[in-house]
Every structure is written in C-alpha cells, then in structure tokens.
Structure 1
Amino acid sequence: MSRTLLASLATLTLVGCGSTSTTVTSSVELDTIEGAGAVAQAQAALKSRQQAGEEFVARGAILDDNGDSHVRFDRRFQGLRVLGGDFVSHQNANGALRELTHAGPESLQGLSVKPSLSAARATQLAERAFVGKRDAGAASAELVVFARGEKPVAAYEVVLEGVKDDGTPSILHVVVDAHTGAVLETADEIETAATTSTGNSLYVGTVSLATNSTSTGYEMRDPSRGKGFYTLNLANGTSGGSVFTSTTSSFGNGTTSNAASAGVDAHYGIQKTYDYFKNVHGRDGIDGAGGTGYNRVHYSSRYNNAFWSDSCFCMTYGDGDGTTFTPLTAIDVAGHEMTHGVTSRTARLVYSGESGGLNEATSDIFGSMVEYYAASASDPGDYLIGEKIYTPSKSGDALRYMANPSQDGKSVNCWSSSVGSLDVHYSSGVANHFFYLLAEGSTGSTTCNGSTLSGIGRSAAEKIWYRALTVYMTSSTKYAGARTATLNAAKDLFGSGSTQYNAVAAAWSAVSVN
C-alpha cells in the first residue's frame, strides 16, 4: 500500500459521457475471464497514451451492470514504482475510453531517475523522522519516483519498523528525495481508530455467532463468510495468541471478567461488517475476493487503542486503561478498522494530510453505517464513533462526532487550506460532517455557509461514498478531488441534475469545499 501524498483528484473527460443509471457494480478477480477481459480492453484503450519507459500494472477491476468497466492501474517508470502514479481507466461497454481518473502528472518524460544519495544515506535521514523505539535492522529502502509533489523526483521510500511511545506498533514509510535528502512525506502503515484510544458480549448483549465445531467443543472461527476468519486472544501479549475456544456453544459472560466477552464483540463486529459490505454494496469480503482478515483481542496491557495493519491484514484491539477506555471492540470500531482494509484494496488513500483525513473519514462513515446495519438494541446506530468504549465516568464522550466534529475540541467542521496539516483523525471532520449533512440534512448540525439542507437518506449517501471510493478516488485524492469523485458517483447512480447529485454539491459547499 503506497504511503505518500499530494495532488487532488483530476478527471480527464476523453469521450463525452452523459448521465447514466448504473445501479450495480461488482469487483472481479483479474485472473477470471471477466477480469482479464476488462484489463485487456483497458490496456488497448490506453495504448496510445503509454509513453516510453512506462508500464501500467492492473491491480483491480469493477464491472457495472451496463457493461462499463473501471480498471485500477499502478504505474512504473524505467522500472521504478511511481508513488502517486496510480489511476483508474473507465471504459464504455464498447471498449472506448470514457474517462481517466488520475493522481499526479500524466507525463514523466525527461525525468532522471539516477540518485545522488545512496540507499544507506537515505535510511539514515529517514530514521530521524521515526518517533518511538526502532526495531534494530528492520528497515528497507527502495528507489522510486515520487509524483505527488509539484514536480516528480527520484526518491527513496524507506520503511522503518518499531513501536511508538504509547505502545502502538509502527511501520513508518518515509519518502526521501534521492538528490537533496529532504523528507518529502511520512505515513504510517498502522492505521488507528483513535488518537489516544455474542455469545455474551460487552456492548451488544447476547448475539448469535458463527463458530466452528471441533472434537472438544467450539472455536471462534467463522468458516461461512468469504474465505473465513477467526478471533485470537493475545492474552495481553503483542504477538502469537490462540483462537478463543469453549467446551460449550456459549462464549463470554458479558463482563470483562471473562476474556471471551471482548472476543465476542470483535467476532460479531467482523461478521456484521462482512455482511454489510456484501449485502449493501455487493463486495465479497474486505479485499473484494472473499478475504476478510482476522481479529486480535487483548493486545498488550492497558492499551488505549485499536488499529488496522495491512501487513497482517488484521484488526487489533486493546483493553483500554479502565479509566478512560474499556476494551475497544465496539461494533463501530470494528467497522472502522475493517474499512481501512477496504480502502487499502481500492483507493489506497495515503494515511497523511487531506488524503489521510479522507481515509479516516471513510472508516468513520462505514463504521457508523455498519452500526446502523447491525441494528442492535444495545448499541443502536448513530453518528458517534466509539461512544460505547468509554468507562461510565466518561459517559457521553465519543472518539468523533460526525454531526459536529469540532465537539471533540480538535476536529474541524469546515475545510480550510490548513486542514492538511492536522492529524488525520481531526482533518477527517470535514468529510464526516459532509456525510452527515448529505444523509440527514442540517437538522442536528450546522453548516459552514449558513445554508439549510435536506438529507437524501443513509442508503443513497452510503452508496455514493462507496462508489466514489472504489471507482473514482486514488491514493492522493484531497477534498477537492473527493467532491469531484462523489459528484461522479452520484451522476452514475442517480443521474446528473438529480436530487441526489444536487445534494452532494450542496453538502460539500456546506463544509466549504467548493
């Protein structure tokens, strides 16, 4: 997953395209007949645009019910990966290139990729950006093309592993200019749910779990969804762990005195998140090919956070310190974490700057939608993130407040040119606010331009955001690009000039993205 930044989404209209009425999309594997056909069609359409030294590598395809196809490509130049060179090629049913959604410059001709610095020197410079305890020897440096800035340059992507001061694992990607040694961007591969942050469950009561029968009882392993998944008990360690088991068909007792109770919440959360993406968006698993990842519960000791890692393709949950947080396994947190996996397999929004804010907001949006989908009487749907994981003394608190993001004292409701300099959990406020206004209207919220809005409902809003993410956004999409992406998605789903299309435009204006 690329971890670098810049350039707003740009859409080049190559062939005139009116509004469509696309209502069904499906991800296809590249090695299937349909996937290979879509890729071949896209490559043929792109042949005239491919320049000397360039290679376009397909990594995902989506087919619409009207025959249109959308193929994601990564780009290589003179054998090097191009960070910020990813794009989506949109073809009509007849194979004609309709649009090209890209990040960064179209042409890299004339760029010298010969470095002035050695990989060892670049690693030394990158290490200065690491905050925490580094794992000795756990570093790599790859020569790449960095195409997210104003001008493409040769650079090293240095990957450093270690642990942050708060105990969170860190896999830090640092991009270093291969000529000047300047740090061009940093982004962490570990994506957290918070900034400081059945069976018989802790948060959703007694629920039904899909488990696996064994010779000695049952294990917390679901073989029925996609390629299957399981939930591990790390028992306050940071690696290893074992699958939760029970000699009976019951897990947990609804309190923290039984370690399986938190496991129930995590297991239920992954089930409902899988079901949500499958039944609402037609997505088979988190990776689009049946893969759903797995859970790791009871990570470390008194750990106040939860995180997604691409490396293990898994969710990890701490137990909280008991003062501010209880175990961080609430269903909206589960939906949040697994959505990071969806993003990593689609747009790959870099976890930094405005793109990082959109990455976090995407997880908050679908985490909230998963909570609504689960429809638990013990934890009904709302636009608060993580409100169930606070201790009774902190009742009423939440990690994020989508109707009014600034309620947490750090997030922002409205876009400004300084948004990209904020922590990604705070810059996410702009998109969270947009989504609330789009779905629910301005009742219960306020707009940045004083307008009064009527919502289009969660069903339409979530489908627009999902299509924007999976079809139009790229790794470098910023807020201006997100506006373009969601307008394109609304046009595809409901038509240009439709109530939904106009509502998208109005909601972005209401958060100062014009």
Structure 2
Amino acid sequence: MNLRKTLLAASVVAALPMMVSSAAQAAAQLMSAPVSLASPQESKGLVAKLTALDAEHGLSADHSFRISSQHPGVVGQKITRAQHTFKGLRVYGSESVVVTNDAGDIVSESVSDRRAALGADTNGVTAGKTAAIADTTPSLSASDAIALVVKAVAPSGTHRWAPSAELLIYPVMKSVRIASAVNKSEAALNAMDLEDVVDHYELAYFVQTRMANKGKPVYFDTILNAKTGAVIAQWQALQTVVGTGNSQYNGVVPIQTSLSGSTYKMLDSTRGTGGTYGGMAITDAAHSSADNPNAGSIYTNTTNTWGDGKQYINGGSDTNANGQTAAVNALWGLMNTYDTMKNVLGWQSLDGNNTATYIAAHVDTAYDNAFFDPGCKCMYIGDGSSFYSLGSIDVIGHEMSHGVTDATSNLTYSGESGGLNESNSDIGGEMVEAYARNGGTGVVIPASGNDWMMGKEISKTGQPLRWMYKPSKDGSSPDAWSSTIKNLNVHYSSGPNNRMFYFLSQGSNASSTSDYYSKYLIKSPAAMTGIGNDKAFRIWFKANTTKFTASTNYADARNKVLLAAQELYGVGSKEAIAVQRAYAAINVGADIDEAAGGSAVSISTQPASVTVAAGSTASFSVGATGGTAPYTYKWYRNGAVISGATSATYSLTAQSTDNGAVFNAVVSDSSSPVKTATSGNATLTVGSTGGSTERVTNGGFESGATGWSGTTGVIGTFTGETAYEGTKYAYLGGNGQTASETLTQAVTIPSTATSASLTFALHIDTAESGTTAYDKLVVTVKNSAGTVLGTLATYSNANAASGYQIRTFNLIAYKGQTVTLSFAMTEDSSLQTSFVVDKVSLITQ
C-alpha cells in the first residue's frame, strides 16, 4: 500500500565535525546554551521557507505551519518545532523538527507527516487514498466538548488547571505490514515490518482536563469528534514516578541554599532563573490533597543543617529535622539532575533555556506516588505508605526528565510513544543516579554507580518498580517489542526500550540462562559490546531532543537514535553498530556483526568517461575485489542515486541534456556490517553528430513543472516512490480512489527529420490483483485542438513490475507537425495503482 503523495521531508543532515579523540569526544559539550526565542518576524520567515518547500512538492495554500516551541540544539544550532496545519487547523501528530544554524538557514528537518490526503493541490490532485476533511465547521462548541469529557471522566471533580479544547484535524492511524512482511506470522514480526499509515481523518477537539476527584488527580487527554461528540481516543496524562543535608538515601550531602537575613531557605539561586521562585526551590505541600495539591511555602530553617536522614513519621511535623529529610532528598535530587544535564550535555534546566522549577514535598498523607505536572512544570513527592519517601535520586531524575520531554519531543503519553516517554525518564533517572553517586561533578556520566533498577531504594520489599536490564521480572513488562505493545500501560511498554538502553551502555550476555541475554542477537559476537553510560546517554538525549516527534514509535526511535549516533561518532562507528545491535536485541531492526572479517572492498576497474552522439547508448562499468561476495551496486548521476541502476554496468540513451553529467558507483559486499568502496567519476560527453536534437523540455522533471501542462502537482518527490534519475519524477495515480490526472507537452518535429524517437522510463506498482484493467495510463499524440492523432500505448495495473521499464516509440510519422505528448491516468474507486514516469525524451535527427 502506498500513502500517496506524502511528501518526503528534507532529512538532510549536516554531519558534525568529528572530534579528535574518544576522550575529547566524551567530554565535549553537546547542547547549546539557552537560545533567545525567535521574533515574530523570524518565525514568519521560517514558516515562509517551510511553506515554499511544501509548494514545490504540490501542497496547496491550505497547508501551513505553526511554531509551537523552540529550544537549543547541538552547539551552534537551534531547534524549532513546527506543527502542520490545514485550513488553519493543526493536524494532530503531524509536525516538523527543524534544525537551523546561527544564520537562520535550515540544516535539517525531521518529520512526522500525516497530511497525505488532506485536500487537493492547486492543480486538482486528490492526494492520498483516504477520505479528506471537506467540512471544518464543528457541530459542537469548545465548551460542549469540555463538558462531555468532564461528564465522562470526573463529573463531580474540580479543575486543578483550566480545561482546554482545541479544534483540529485528527488522523486516525492504522498499522500495515510492509511488502516483505505480508506473509510473516504474528510472532515473527519485527518492529521494522510495520508502518503507521493514515486510515481516515476526523474533525475533532483535543480536550485537556486536569482535574481532582475523590482524593486523586484525574488528568486526561481526549480526542472528541467535533460533529458527534464521540470519543475517538483517550489516555491518562499524569506523568508519574551549600548547606549540609542529612538525606535518607545518600547520607550527608551538600545542598545549595540561600540566606535571607538570619533565615536559611531551600532556594538554589545558582541553578535556573525565573520560574515561580526565581531559582530551584523545595516547598512544603503540607499534606494538601494530591488531587489538588498546593505547593506551599519554601522550606526555611534557622541553621544550615537540615534533616535527620530518616523516613518521615506519619503525622509528625513537616518542618522539624524529620520532616526536613524529604526536602533534603528533593533538593539533592534536583541539584544533581540539573548538574547532570548542564555539566555533561550543556542542557540547562528542564527546557534547555535555564527556566527554574521546584519540587513540593509531603503531598497528601502516606501518598505512594511522585509525579511531574506539566501545568506548573514542577514535581510533587509523597511520603509513601507501601513505599518509603518517593524522593530517591533516580525517581527525582525520572520525574524531572519528564520535564525535558515536555519541553522538546513531547512524546504523546499513550501507545508506543508513551512507552518511549516513560523510558526516557527511566534512562534520565539512572544517569542522574550514576552522576550523583560518583560525586556529582565532572563532564561525563560515570561508567558505574547506578543500579539499573528504577526506584529500588524507595521499596520496602526490596523489589524495584522496574528492572531495566530485564523488564519482564516485574511480571507485566515485555522484554522485546511486539505488535501488541501499543496496548499496554506506558509504564510497561517502556520496558523494551529500557532494555535497549541497558544493552547499549553495558552490553549483553551470551548465556541463554542469563538475565542479560537476548534471543534476537544472532550475529557475532553473541554477547554484544556496550559503549558505556556517557556515550549511550549523549546519543539518546540528542535523538529525543532534536529528532523525535510526538508520534515517534519504536521503529522511528531506532532510526533516529541510529542517526544521532552516526552524527556524533560516524557512520559505521562502533557506537552506531552498538545502537543497531541494542535495538535488534529487543526485536526492532536486524542484528549485525560487530566486526566484519576479511579484507576491505576495493575498486579494481574504474568507470571510464565516454563520448557518444545524442540518441546513442552510453555505458559505464565498474569492477571490485575484496570483502565478501556477492557484491551489490548503486550508480549515481551528479551525486544523486539512479533508481534501478544496480548492476556492474549502467547504460542509458544519451540526450543532449546529458552532456557533462558525471557518473560513479558504490560497490557493497555481503558482510555485516557492510563494507563499501566508491569508484572514481566518469564524465559523459554528448556530441551533436548527425544533428541529433532533444525536443522535450525538462523531460527529467528536475525543474518542476517547467515545460509541462495539466495536473502538474504530480511532479515532485513523494513517499513510496523514487526517481529513475535525479530526485524528481511524475507520480500519476496512487490515489486509491476515483481520480484523473494528465500531463502534456507540445513538441515540434521538423519536416527535415529522418528519425524521431520518443523514450520514457515507467514504473508501475499496484494494490490491485488479477489481470483485469481497473486503473490505466494512456499515452497519446494529439494535435493542437486536442484531437488524438495516435495512441502509443495503454498501460494498466496488470502491467505492474518491479523497477523502471524503458519504453520507446517511433514518431517520425508526425514530422513537420507540432504535436502534444499526453500521459493520461484514470483510477477507479478503490485500490491504488501508481504510474511513475521519468526521463521523457524525444530525439530527432
């Protein structure tokens, strides 16, 4: 199945300069200092650039962008998150993560694009096979939508934060198997075997309610049909778990406080600015109910020694030494979370822009939870009943990491993205623990110090909340991805990614009886090698903050974490290999060998430059030795891959426009990881022997619609199809619904011509079956009045074939005339057929 005309977003990644050594690499600051928010003019300029890129690919003026947030990127770059809009309404889960440099130039764009079938382009192309939104007027008001949700989730509750209802377009998604996985059993599926596609769209309200009801917070995000009030989707939104301080879990620790007159306050003005209190603060919630907690006042003391290091005695004072211990736990955790991010990564506070936050201790009575609240961007900690005080270093690091995700990728808190959201917080908690346990100083995450068990210290039974190295030990979390993982609670669906990160950092064990073993690691060595806490965390943090979108799932995460590793440490580096193996260990992607044997691949025969006449055949050949046979080949023209050119020899019918084109080949062997060699360049010179002349303008479509008329919106670069040469082509069909599309160009064949040869490259793929022609492409020659002079060929879904086929026709019968070449496509009401045309040429002599 093709999701027709979902534009391929620019994913051009500017590789970071490689650092001089592993040691320097480990200690280098990754993220930029706080960035200034773009001015309205700068934001408008960025939106204009993005909209112009959309227009080049055929999207209509109904499509635009809305800047949602900005934060630092890697050093020298800024990250802007731009939501996709249609007719002014946000398309839920469809967004671009845009990396810009100091000059404001777009460096790269990481995209989750769900706009495929929304509307028609300016030339009338119905994009996609799904039903678009025809009417954007709701039947319900925003207040109606809120009332319906409140009635369903907490009719007697009270609002902790003001509710909101945003009218938007909601793409209802479904998972489909890629072609190579159609016949796999469910148990054999890998995460990379599925792709999420749009099933249909609904006009909806995104309702956010943050309520209190019967002694507990009731936080929900709800997608409500704006016409009928029906619930389309719903998920829980509550994201849960230098003075001297006597902490409960870390002994005597130094904590940063402030002195006001003769009174000490738990206000750290050296970390963070602004916020509610002007610095990082710890407050006393004074047992206010968890369903509507009051942060209370900042802790104060007459001396700068705090706490007794013991579990809070239920019913006792919050402000005596025993009551202060929970506050010491909180401040020590908050300081170390801040220092881990800033000293190691350069990231300041939760949002990267150094905005201060706070933690409120003693929330509710004997409350067995801790949670991050996006409304205040703060954290609340309970005293525990089944647990000890929930202020351990890893729990605080976990909850504060929710704040980082909230400010960056904002991973939707349900399904696979919700599991990744929780996993990010577990990863953050463990890395903060490692940093704090080794003194809380330095510019690297120490190699040890954390226990890889989330919340073990707060447990009265000794059983942690989660085991990162083997999630299934809790009896509910899976160790690996499966197609049903999206149905689990996010605290359980986080398990596989937690295990991935453990393997990435620490490696695995080859014994099938070990807790550190994965049956999915089938390459050599059976026990994969880890890269350590510091590198693993840098790679993960960069991916989450600069590449993930709100809808990122396990497969998308694997690709973007790998890309982050390649940018930081190089393609083919041990770090990039470790990422692939760590994800393979949880059934996401294929396993690879850590070190390939045998010699490197080398080019034994270089392609030679050739000179031919227009209309003649030009051929280039390459030979290779070394590595592991058999070889695979990929040919490039002027740096762009040539679709279907996968043999040792590449041939083409030369046109005058090919003069000066440069060709080269990349040869790959069959080892894992693959070894490659790149040939030298060969230049094609096209002479004018015999008076050969190209009569088609822009036959390769690289100049967009230039020279062509009709449904020109089909010209561009689209998801699911590739060019024969270059980057652009004409994508006729692929809609999966009733549609007609036509491309035409007038050409003149001189009366003196002795030959007139029309050629074009055509690729056909289809979802139809059988030999009945349901969808057709008719190629004709017409006169200026539009009368058909001759039908050259009719192609249908029955002619589908892999790769491009070169089609050739003799047009000498039309010499002395100006005729119109016509490519006309018609599709029936269901099941797409794609007719992809490229390199149209009419050579006369």
Instruction: State the TM bucket, normalised to the shorter chain.
Output: 0.7 to 0.9
When residues 467 and 272 of structure 1 are mapped into structure 2, their CA distance, relative to the original with a 3 A threshold, is: same
* In the alignment, structure 1 residue 78 sits paired with structure 2 residue 87: yes
2:44, 2:476 → 1: CA distance? 44
Q: Is the 8 A contact 2:159 2:209 kept in 1?
A: no
Q: What displacement does 1:95 show?
A: 6.8
Written as runs of structure 1 = structure 2, the 5 A alignment for 1:113-152 is 113-127=136-150, 129-130=152-153, 134-135=157-158, 139-147=163-171, 149=173, 150=198, 151-152=200-201
Written as runs of structure 1 = structure 2, the 5 A alignment for 1:340-355 is 340-355=402-417
When residues 450 and 362 of structure 1 are mapped into structure 2, their CA distance, relative to the original with a 3 A threshold, is: same
When residues 120 and 386 of structure 1 are mapped into structure 2, their CA distance, relative to the original with a 3 A threshold, is: same
2:209, 2:11 → 1: CA distance? 44
For 1:71, give the aligned amino acid.
Answer: T
1:325, 1:303 → 2: CA distance? 9
Q: What displacement does 1:134 show?
A: 2.1
SS where residue 447 of structure 1 aligns?
A: coil
* In the alignment, structure 1 residue 241 sits paired with structure 2 residue 296: yes
When residues 69 and 262 of structure 1 are mapped into structure 2, their CA distance, relative to the original with a 3 A threshold, is: closer
2:37 to 5, 8, 31: 31
Written as runs of structure 1 = structure 2, the 5 A alignment for 1:259-298 is 259-298=323-362
* In the alignment, structure 1 residue 447 sits paired with structure 2 residue 522: no
TM-score (norm 2): 0.55
2:227, 2:406 → 1: CA distance? 30
When residues 462 and 17 of structure 1 are mapped into structure 2, their CA distance, relative to the original with a 3 A threshold, is: closer
- CA deviation map 1:109-149 (0-9, x unaligned): 35332223444553354346526952179644331222463
1:231 to 250, 258, 282: 282
Q: Is the 8 A contact 1:266 1:329 kept in 2?
A: yes
Q: Is the 8 A contact 2:34 2:348 kept in 1?
A: no
Q: Which moved more, 1:69-78 or 1:480-489?
A: 69-78
Written as runs of structure 1 = structure 2, the 5 A alignment for 1:14-413 is 14=10, 20-21=16-17, 24-26=30-32, 28-31=34-37, 40=45, 43-44=48-49, 46-49=51-54, 51-53=60-62, 54-57=64-67, 59-65=69-75, 70-90=79-99, 97=106, 99-107=108-116, 108-109=118-119, 111=133, 112-127=135-150, 129-130=152-153, 134-135=157-158, 139-147=163-171, 149=173, 150=198, 151-163=200-212, 167-193=215-241, 199-227=245-273, 228-237=279-288, 238-255=293-310, 256-257=312-313, 258-321=322-385, 324-375=386-437, 380-391=449-460, 394-395=461-462, 397-413=463-479
Q: Which moved more, 1:227-236 or 1:116-125?
A: 116-125
SS where residue 457 of structure 2 aligns?
A: helix
When residues 233 and 169 of structure 1 are mapped into structure 2, their CA distance, relative to the original with a 3 A threshold, is: same
Q: Is the 8 A contact 2:307 2:328 kept in 1?
A: yes
Q: Is the 8 A contact 1:173 1:186 kept in 2?
A: yes
Q: What displacement does 1:455 show?
A: 0.5
When residues 11 and 280 of structure 1 are mapped into structure 2, their CA distance, relative to the original with a 3 A threshold, is: farther
2:225, 2:92 → 1: CA distance? 13
When residues 441 and 84 of structure 1 are mapped into structure 2, their CA distance, relative to the original with a 3 A threshold, is: same
* In the alignment, structure 1 residue 457 sits paired with structure 2 residue 505: no
2:394, 2:7 → 1: CA distance? 33
For 1:219, give the aligned amino acid.
Answer: K
Q: What displacement does 1:75 show?
A: 3.3
Q: Is the 8 A contact 2:70 2:78 kept in 1?
A: no
Q: What displacement does 1:104 show?
A: 3.8
When residues 431 and 206 of structure 1 are mapped into structure 2, their CA distance, relative to the original with a 3 A threshold, is: same
For 1:230, give the aligned amino acid.
Answer: A
Q: Which moved more, 1:114-123 or 1:431-440?
A: 114-123
2:373, 2:364 → 1: CA distance? 16
When residues 190 and 380 of structure 1 are mapped into structure 2, their CA distance, relative to the original with a 3 A threshold, is: same
* In the alignment, structure 1 residue 467 sits paired with structure 2 residue 545: no
Q: Is the 8 A contact 2:330 2:396 kept in 1?
A: yes
Aligned to 1:3: none
When residues 163 and 68 of structure 1 are mapped into structure 2, their CA distance, relative to the original with a 3 A threshold, is: closer
1:403, 1:385 → 2: CA distance? 11
Q: Which moved more, 1:373-382 or 1:210-219?
A: 373-382
Structure 2 residue runs without a partner (length 5+)? 19-27, 121-132, 174-197, 274-278, 314-321, 441-447, 510-514, 590-845
Q: Name the structure where strand makes up a greater proportion of residues.
A: 2
- RMSD of aligned Cα (Å): 2.9
When residues 80 and 417 of structure 1 are mapped into structure 2, their CA distance, relative to the original with a 3 A threshold, is: same
Q: Which moved more, 1:144-153 or 1:259-268?
A: 144-153
Q: Is the 8 A contact 1:297 1:316 kept in 2?
A: yes
Q: Is the 8 A contact 1:42 1:91 kept in 2?
A: no
When residues 260 and 36 of structure 1 are mapped into structure 2, their CA distance, relative to the original with a 3 A threshold, is: farther
2:500, 2:390 → 1: CA distance? 26
For 2:110, give the aligned amino acid.
Answer: T
Q: Which moved more, 1:96-105 or 1:198-207?
A: 96-105
2:568 to 485, 493, 507: 493
When residues 274 and 377 of structure 1 are mapped into structure 2, their CA distance, relative to the original with a 3 A threshold, is: closer
Q: What displacement does 1:279 show?
A: 0.9
1:512, 1:274 → 2: CA distance? 34
SS where residue 388 of structure 1 aligns?
A: coil
TM-score (norm 1): 0.88
Q: What displacement does 1:85 show?
A: 2.4
Q: Which moved more, 1:238-247 or 1:42-51?
A: 42-51
Q: Is the 8 A contact 2:258 2:264 kept in 1?
A: yes
State the identity %. 35
1:180, 1:223 → 2: CA distance? 51
When residues 264 and 376 of structure 1 are mapped into structure 2, their CA distance, relative to the original with a 3 A threshold, is: farther
1:386, 1:17 → 2: CA distance? 38
